[in-house]
Amino acid sequence: MMYKNDKNSKGYTLLFAVIVASVTLAIGVSILTISKKEFILSSAARESSISFYVADDGFECAMYQNDQGRFTPTTFNLPWDCGNHGPITYDSVGNTYSFDVHFSGLACAKVTVVKRNSQPYTIVDSKGYNLAWDSTRFCTNTSPKMTERALYAEF
């Protein structure tokens, strides 16, 4: 009888080892999962500020060009630039002038300026993207990590 009991309790060590290993593994994996999410979240804060500043750059570019009298049918299609790269594409339909502008890195902004004859006389809409620029896809990349921040003004 004594011998039989001893034999039955032998597996307890294995069970205990497996439980301890599983618990530590579960704790480790859960910490890693939480940290990974924190990591993505903190990257989002950084990427979002990059998008915001490129939107602000596009906005300031539009304000500067507005002061230079750029947004008229005759002056808009003349060569001009904001940043060393100049606008990537520009297009005007009636009194709506739009252009894409890239300054550095992968960020770019899509800017639309509307000129009107009554209040508000000018509407500026600038959308900044962090990862949208590369040599083949000008400001149209749709990466899952892309963030957009926009600035809008009427005056």
Partner 1 sequence: MKKEIENNKGFTIVETLVAITILMIAIAGPLTVAFRGLTAAVYAHDQVTASYLAQDAMEYIKNVRDNNLKTPGRSWLDGINTTSLVCTNLSDNCTVNTLNNPYDTGGGTCGPDCYLYLKSDGSGYTPESGGNKQTQFTRKYYITSTSNPDEVTATVIVEWKNGTVSNAVTLSSQLFNIRK
* Distance of closest approach, residue 150 Cβ to partner 1, in angstroms: 16
List phi, psi (to 5°) of 131: -120, 25
**Cβ distance to partner 1 smaller for residue 84 or 142:** 84
**Cβ distance to partner 1 smaller for residue 27 or 96:** 27
* Distance of closest approach, residue 120 Cβ to partner 1, in angstroms: 17
Do 101 and 58 contact (CB within 8 A), yes or no? yes
**Cβ distance to partner 1 smaller for residue 90 or 103:** 103
Tokens 């921040």, located at residue: 149
Tell me which residues touch partner 1 (CB under 8 A): 3, 6, 17, 20-21, 24-29, 31-36, 38-39, 41-43, 45-46, 49-50, 53, 56-57, 60-61, 63-64, 67, 81-84, 103-105
Name the token pair of 20.
Answer: 């301890």
Q: How far is Cα 57 from Cα 150, in angstroms, rounded to an integer?
A: 11
**Cβ distance to partner 1 smaller for residue 79 or 94:** 79
Tally of CB atoms within 10 A around 128: 27
* Distance of closest approach, residue 71 Cβ to partner 1, in angstroms: 14
User: 131-141 b/e with 16+ CB inside 10 Å = b?
Assistant: bbbeeeeebeb
